[in-house]
Amino acid sequence: MTITYREAIKQAIRQSLLSDEKVFLMGEDVGRYGGAFAVSKGLLQEFGPERIMDTPLSEAGFVGAGIGAAIAGMRPIVEIMTVNFSLLALDQIVNNAATLLHMSGGQVNVPVVIRISSGIGKQLAAQHSHSWEPIFASIPGLKILSAGTHADARGMLPTALKDPDPVIIFEYTNMLNLEGELDATAGAVDITYAAVRRPGHDLSIITYGAGVYKSLEAAKDLAAAGIDAEVIDLRVLRPLDEVAIINSVRKTHRALIVEDAWKSISVSSEICARIMESAFYDLDAPVQRLCGVEVPIPYSKHLEDASVPQKQQIVEAAVRLCAHAKT
């Protein structure tokens, strides 16, 4: 069936609520308003205010409440409206959720799932439109997921809710209206491994989140030009599936890393380092990166588009990389 990315997320939340009475959703405007991006529309009417909870505009307050509920045995889904607002809850996430298991000697688990809208979002400017996955992916004690496909938007949440430790799922604002095919029986998915979204032999395009569909579209154009690109969707940003990355690079001997986040101290930086450490002698060309321009995200549409990698840039970078490898 064909559904939007938004509907895939909603199905995941609804099914999780139906499957376990300990699951509840909390966040700003998730109830009566139906969610800032209409993801939870109708759920308040179906499940009631004890399971669909509108919160005050205080990320530190309601994220902390979610952590407390998780410790007490509930399975909260905490929604943070945009990744920019998540910084207001960093104390709760970093100093509590991520550390309590270690600091309690393994006695206190924190099974909270935090959903964060991320990425470039329809001219919402610098207050609502960044890709700060690398910030959270650098923190031990957290599992960081990136829902770059409809199947993962539908399937990551049910699996994350079974994890005994804190999980953050990044969802992508600019993908909400994107339609995609999803099997009618689609359900929970693995949240341990990267996925080969398209097999290939000439180069590895390694990406996540909003970069997945752009990279797949670029791979189609590259195929028409005689370049067989493999597309790796990282899916799990912490812990990284290093085996999948290295295996792909050893097969193709070339790597192009695509992400919307800023290049400096990014997920791509970490992947470059790991390739250098584990697969340097398998490379036929230097690893290349396409990342977001290091500026606050602009409001105007043409500048917003220019601030992150687009399909044509991916195609051009891949062609240059393959040409370099043949010289």
Give me the CATH number covering residue 227. Answer: 3.40.50.920
Q: Is residue 186 part of a domain?
A: no
| Domain assignment of residue 236, given as a range | 195-326
**pLDDT tens track for 93-122:** 999 999 999 999 999 999 999 999 998 877
Q: Within a domain: residue 153?
A: yes
Average confidence score pLDDT of the chain: 95
Whether the CB-CB separation of 43 and 14 falls below 8 Å is answered with yes
Give bridge partners of residue 168 from the DSSP assignment. Answer: 114, 144
**Single residue among 137, 152, 181 that ends a domain in this structure:** 181
pLDDT score of 64: 98
Looking at residue 324, its pLDDT comes to 72
Predicted confidence (pLDDT) at residue 187 exceeds the cutoff of 90: no
Which of 181, 214, 232 delimits the end of a domain? Answer: 181
Q: How sure is the predictor about 124, in pLDDT bands with cuts at 50, 70 and 90? A: confident
Same-domain status, 166 and 267? no
Residue 89 tokens, joined = 């809850």
Q: Which of 198, 195, 202, 193 has the alpha carbon at shortest distance from 252?
A: 202
Catalytic residue among 7, 128, 171, 230: 128
Q: How far apart are the first and last CA of the chain?
A: 46
Residue 9 above 70 pLDDT?
yes
Residue 188 maps to a domain: no
Q: Are the C-beta atoms of 255 and 283 separated by less than 8 Å?
A: yes
Dump pLDDT digits (tens) for 30-53: 999 999 999 999 999 999 999 999
CA 132 to each of CA 18, 233, 237, 302: distance values in angstroms, whole numbers, following the listed order: 31, 17, 12, 21
Of the candidates 55, 52, 18, the residue with the CA atom closest to the CA atom of residue 34: 52
Same domain, 216 and 312: yes
Range 151-172 average pLDDT: 97
Mark whether 147 and 267 lie in a shared domain: no
pLDDT > 70? residue 247 = yes
Q: Does residue 203 share a domain with residue 145? A: no
Tell me what the mean pLDDT of segment 167-187 comes to.
92
Total structural domains within the chain: 2
Contact call for residues 234 and 146 (beta carbons, < 8 A): yes
Neighbours of 270 (CB within 10 A): 18
Residues 106 and 224 in one domain: no
Q: Is 189 among the domain residues?
A: no
**46 part of the active site:** no
The residue among 317, 318, 311 whose CA lies nearest residue 200 is 318
**AA identity, residue 1:** M
- In this structure, are 23 and 132 located in the same domain? yes
Same domain, 216 and 170: no
In angstroms, rounded to a whole number, what is the distance separating the alpha carbons of residues 190 and 178?
A: 23
Q: Is 103 left (phi over 0), alpha (psi -120 to 50) or beta?
A: alpha
Q: Specify whether 167 is located in the same domain as 291.
A: no
206 in a domain, yes or no? yes
Q: Is 118 left (phi over 0), alpha (psi -120 to 50) or beta?
A: beta
* Torsion angles phi and psi, residue 237, rounded to 5: -90, -20
**Would residue 247 count as lying in a domain?**
yes
Residue 5 CA to residue 148 CA, distance in Å, equals 9
The CATH number of whichever domain residue 66 belongs to comes to 3.40.50.970
Entry pTM: 0.96
Look at residue 157 and give its three-state secondary structure.
helix
What's the pLDDT score for residue 326?
Answer: 59
Does the annotation count 128 as an active-site position?
Answer: yes
Tokens 């709760």 locate to 92
User: Do both 251 and 227 map to the same domain?
Assistant: yes
Residue 34 within a domain: yes
Does residue 155 sit in the same domain as residue 229? no
Structure tokens at 12: 């995941």
177 and 207 share a domain?
no
Q: Are residues 25 and 150 in the same domain?
A: yes
Taking CA atoms, 23 is separated from 149, 231, 242, 322, in Å, by 24, 34, 32, 49
Q: Tell me if residue 195 falls in helix, strand or coil.
A: strand
Q: Which is catalytic among the residues 59, 230, 270, 304? A: 59
Number of H helices, E strands in the chain: 13, 14
Q: Is residue 190 part of a domain?
A: no
In terms of phi and psi (left: phi > 0; alpha: psi -120 to 50; beta: otherwise), the region of 225 is: alpha
Report residue 325's pLDDT band, with 50, 70 and 90 as the boundaries: low
Chosen domain end from 130, 151, 181? 181
Q: Which residues pair with 195 in a beta bridge?
A: 233
